[in-house]
Amino acid sequence: MTDPPGGIDPAVRAEQLRDLIEYHNDRYHHLDAPEIPDAEYDALVRELLAIESDHPDLRVPDSPTGSVGAPASTLFSPVAHRVPMMSLDNAFNPGELEAWADRLAKHIPADTAFVCELKIDGVAMSLTYEHGRYVQAATRGDGRVGEDVTANVATIADIPDSLDSSVKAPAVIEVRGEVYMPIAAFEELNRRQAETEGRLFVNPRNSAAGSLRQKDASVTATRALSFWAYQVGDLQPQTDPPGSTLPEELVSSHASTLAWLGRAGFPINPEHRVVHGLSEALAFCRHWEEHRHDLGYEIDGVVVKVDDLSLQRRLGATSRAPRWAIAYKFPPEERTTRLRAIEVSIGRTGKATPFAVLEPVFVGGSTVSLATLHNEDQVRAKDVRPGEDVVVRKAGDVIPEVVGPVLVGAQGKPRRPPEWTFPVVCPSCGAPLARLEGESDTFCTNLDCPGQRVQRISHFGSRSAMDIEGLGEQRVELFVGRGLLVDVADLYSFTPDTFAGIEGFGALSIANLLGAIEASRSRPLHRLLVGLGIRHLGQVGSLALARAFGTLDGIVSAGEPALAAVDGVGPIIAASVAEWFASEVNRGVVDRLRRAGVNVEEPGRGEVVGGAVGVPFADRTLVGKSVVVTGTLEGLTREEAEEAIVARGGKSPGSVSKRTFAVVLGESPGASKVTKAEQLGIPVVNGVEQFVALLETGELPSKG
């Protein structure tokens, strides 16, 4: 970029950018209330850097491109950093990382080692220990002066009060790292916020920053903050005895420094690696860009550092960043865009869900124009209004969601549009919408609502239910609109003549869809139960009922108490199942499915469970045991593996804990689960063969 777009004078644009960047610096570093995503802030800085590079006469001494963070808040006592806490230069693509490596190559040996670490999305923190005892914690501030948050940081369980006696403690050591809020803690915090009808926290990073700036340290203690140590700042050797030296690990290499910090009692992120050459560093970056959501905390990139500390000192730093390190930033997962409208969709159970209609924006690897708003309470808590700019988040394959509004900018904004109100009638059929007492969800009261019909039939054919390939929502909507589908039983009356005159259906696509419908007739009972879409009844509950009663007739004839007594069901699901089968309309659909030849029995003893596993159903070998599955097992879906565990009396949660009996590893397992299993000493089951043995015997494979 040579000049700003649109013919704007570079001097005018540079001044605008400085005002904007300083404003957003204050919102981010001082107030913990950023209004724009990191990616858009980075774009402002890069634009100003480009103008200052092309027009050196426009550079000013106090430009934000040469500073770090923001001035310390007056709420806390100032702390002068003995060694400045600098920022990092960024690389946003492999070419920029390569350019950094090329600059280094002029000054360092070709075989120089680098350390790659995850860039934690948290709050930079400086911890000072004197003679092995914790004495102070300070924020980054502007890099030179931070805020004294000693009492608040002392409540974080990860941070030791004193260094482990096995290490030789310097007279003074300043340990730097990142305070962060784990995703589970953030979700729990927002759950509590929702219950008290308070505004929801935007993301874990802002929640961590706000928690650290509480005047009452007891509030900070309730926020479940954590810490990763990643570097050493100030170091002073002991003076007694005279001539004492610093531990060799702290002055030789970055990798050895991390190892020393770990022995001293600090948590060190396990996902760091010493690499040689740019190709290995890039491979590390690409791996974590793909697997960033396998972790229990948020990252926004990878930090690449020269390992040799003497080389670090030789390379030095600019006014704001060291030359020996760079942050490789991942593509943004949050962007700002205009909220055009809020509309409501009707699901298979009649649930009315508000969603955002957005100006299309590229975020999280794809272009997003729709995003969920969950329910009426979430819209109110987030206070988003059509016609305003909003922050949109898309994390990997997660459904996009609106995070919150962009309320004001550096120059201010006019009065806000009126609040959005939830509709009182169904947008699909015009029937009244009703919110159930004590619940956050709103429902259409018309059981014959066409919107519900499309969703019910689409769900019936979904992969986790009857798995009718080719029966997507668009096709269901087409068939319903033509009067070919009223309920799921109508699917089994389809013939080649059904598709006569329908554009887009050739002989092959007709044969494929009819073949998929035919194959679905033999699905086990628990898949049929899932497909019926009974409220509250999911895959685990369906499997539990199918195994307990064996046949659909057994479930229908069982009373509510008998249903509730099944392990994994309980009174809420039992009441919902009994109510569903009490409906004359629903029983009529089930009778038609039965007459169409749809299977209504569950494979019993001596028959296969989890189809692709192909092992006999044995006794309940995993009763009371929790088995976590991570990665892909050959010839077996995740759902089938979990079903096989549950069928044998076990549980298959999504996370590893001290109560986990075993972790089953497939191809490309989640790194966070593997790490947690290693940390807790949880036994590991490798591959399909060992998994099958576990199912058959309930015992772990021998180590021999």
Q: Report, as residue numbers or ranges, the catalytic residues.
A: 119
Query: What is the rounded distance in angstroms from the CA atom of residue 132 to the CA atom of residue 172?
Result: 8
Q: 517 φ, ψ to 5°? A: -65, -40
Which of 528, 490, 534, 576 lies closest to 349, judged by CA?
534
Which of 528, 529, 538 lies closest to 573, judged by CA?
538
Quote the distance between the C-alpha of residue 664 and its chain's center. Answer: 22
Determine contact, residues 649/622, Cβ cutoff 8 Å: yes
Longest Cα–Cα distance in the chain: 97
Query: What is the rounded distance in angstroms from the CA atom of residue 391 to the CA atom of residue 319?
Result: 32
Tell me the C-alpha to C-alpha distance, in Å, between residue 682 and each of 148, 377, 649, 658.
Answer: 39, 40, 20, 8
Three-class SS state of 52: helix
Burial group, residue 216, by CB count within 10 angstroms (0-12, 13-18, 19+): exposed
Which of 296, 240, 29 lies closest to 139, judged by CA?
29
**CB-based burial, 249-283: b 16+ in 10 Å, e otherwise:** bbbebbbbbbebbeebbbbbbbbbbebeebeebbe
Torsion sign across C-alpha atoms 412, 418, 423, 424: positive
Q: What is the 3-state secondary structure (H, E, C) of 371-419?
A: EECCCHHHHHHHCCCCCCEEEEECCCCCCCEEEEECCCCCCCCCCCCCC
Residues facing 354 on adjacent strands: 344
Determine contact, residues 222/189, Cβ cutoff 8 Å: no
